Structure 1
């Protein structure tokens, strides 16, 4: 503290003021100058929007009001205090009006000490955001875009600091916890300790119960008449915090649930894919940390438009072309066949139905390939021995019967006399099986081979009987 002459009223007033406001800083270069930053925390959050956007942000904390005070010679009897106010977000005209209030109060006090009264006036004005709360009852305060980052960061920082200093009773474990170990849910404001939130939400997401990733207060939303409790956003789950991979699973499960309830979507006809069609309505999730908190969590998928239902089946409609978001197959949304162009007539069919081309492809695969016993990926040999290694899962298996082989000794299978179907047949079809002739297979492929043989035999016998009857 500066060494003031106790007989000087200016020094006495600044000393008294500092005892009331410890944050008051006395200027060592000027014996009767001081600065103070007043906290601006409106009683009601101030609605604010920024240029070129419609989003309204409700700020509970705003950058402080910086006050510079200089008591010139003649204060308080002859001259008012010199006051200069500054802050990044208030209009300069409003700041000038607040500065003039110091002179008005000095006149009202009749040349007496009035700094405490003036600072108290500014504190009360800050609780109402200097009159802006009333003005913004209908329309939010419009501020320049360049202030957005600083104001939002400051509001979040101050809110977190205030929150961490308080003590709360967790709504789950019912124990008092410091704010630094708790989290306040954004939509409802209920407070729980982070450990309880993490245990509960991790369990729900692991079990696929995404509908329970919501506020854990059983009465949340009931008093306000809210019909459906809203789920937490992925962005908020990361702030609790939950593991990124867990949050990704939650976001994808929630997206899948919405898509499955949307009757306007079609799914890839490939059985091994079953991916959804590409759509802007449900974009693929790439970064959960950037998913908007304002996203509607429980929106109901729209029903297909009545006009779409009235469109004639097989009409030349460009909307028939859709692309699978997973395997990129281009197919027709009506007949579910590979894309055939807009000028070919087709009719709708169920996803479980196979087209003629699909059935032929499936028959060829079952009759001319051996599936991996681990992942079922079909394999067709072009040359070499019958010891196969799956290109996808790296499993070792026998090409003749589809049996799984021991990786450390795969050739034991072909040397075992008990394996009658494969014994001493390691090099069968060494040039490929495109023309296998009478080569016998085992396993699933052998069953297909036998079925095809007896189907041909049945047809031959039937034709012979028809020929005998005609004679």
Structure 2
């Protein structure tokens, strides 16, 4: 009766110590239970050394890896726990210990056997007393130091050999000696020690998934200060960017994401920190903004990605707008949906090998691209618009540039007039209109010089303005020439 009372008290104590049902669950018959014990790591993050094959698998699972000259490492903050199933005999704790099995996904059966042996030793030291709390504390805090597991840890360093490896050795070793060695190894393994993983191929995946899940649970139970609203909130109401680990509350990020998506800035859903460029994942965006807005985000993101591709254009028909892929070396585009045939470059009706028609307002842009482009860019523009069109655009530009720098337009008919010498009263060679070179005003046909003689006129006394400067320049040139001749 006394043993039964102590067993009941111990189960109550374990329920009080480990309130989370994930850590302790008593058996239905109240004669035992299950303890799921998280391991205290020697350091965080804890590094696991990966082989080349494991590295590829970890990358496919989206894990963050650390690469050094010594190798590639998986960084984790949590490793799969030890699971202790125990059952009370009627004589516990007065005479006998609980019967138990010890399970782990990543520790080998040999390592678990060492732990089982240590649990037996702890019982012998405390025989006659309840032992479950001492066992659980040892497994949580001292199991890894006891097994001498440190970071970085080679994942398969202590795993048992596979059947294929054993079979290979059996062909290379005397069969009788092999059987004897196998028997000896089995005797060293404790039947209570169980490596609870379907295969070594799944081991890395189990570790990665457990670390993610446990990190998520820890995050949700922690509190964080949002750098946008400066309120402290639980992790369950916050979001953390994966690349930079910056944390913001869901309310602030949702408002930010909604504005960006509605404005079409789907590639700007990054960390609000101005010095950070981490991007939110599509799953994070979906969680915050909901189905309808996420559908818009997804559509705009696809459209933005297609627009950045040189060999993709949209069907010119506004009611269609289906993406069309360009065939290499051809300007023919054919919409797979509405079957419209069009020029891939100018989006007009397909015109074969003839150059694209160019609007006048596009010539300036084409000229700039041609002048600043490399050889391949120039060949592309010549192929698209025709070499003669490019040359004409350049000629027209240079002609207009020269005219703007060396002539003025007649204020009456717009003809370009160049002044070579003489006074500032000009006569248009086309319409014979008098105008002032300085202010471009039309002058009186009967008395054009009144513009320069009247004190109220804007160009008073400036009929010969500029001629004096030209004359002085000529005199200076003559003087320099004479001095050079004289020696």
**TM-score normalised over the length of structure 1:** 0.46
Larger radius of gyration: 2
Q: TM-score w.r.t. structure 2 length? A: 0.45
Higher helix proportion: 2
